[in-house]
Amino acid sequence: MSSPKTCIYPGCDRLAVPPHPLGGPQPSFCDLEEHNALTAYQERQRLAGEASSDETERRFTDGQ
């Protein structure tokens, strides 16, 4: 058997919800209602925006 799957929400270390007993793939997110595909996408976009603004800030302060 494979190792337990963890939630793919950025920064979440919780275990993903187990697969349904009648079959089907294991979900990718934990049991927190706010951890879903839409909010994970939004969080990744927010983190990417922060990273790019930090990089821009560094360029301006290092260049002066």
Please write the tens of the pLDDT for every residue from 39-62.
999 999 999 999 887 666 666 666
Rounded CA gap, 44 and 26, in Å?
22
Which tokens is 48 given?
């990417």
Residues 6+ apart with CB under 8 A from 60: none
Residue 64 predicted with pLDDT over 60: no
Boundaries of domain holding 4: 1-16+26-64
In the chain, the number of structural domains is 1
In a domain, 39, yes or no: yes
Rounded CA gap, 48 and 53, in Å?
9
Rounded CA gap, 55 and 64, in Å?
15
The mean pLDDT of the chain is: 89
In a domain, 21, yes or no: no
Whether the model clears a pTM of 0.95, i.e. scores above it, the answer is no
Residue 63 predicted with pLDDT over 70: no
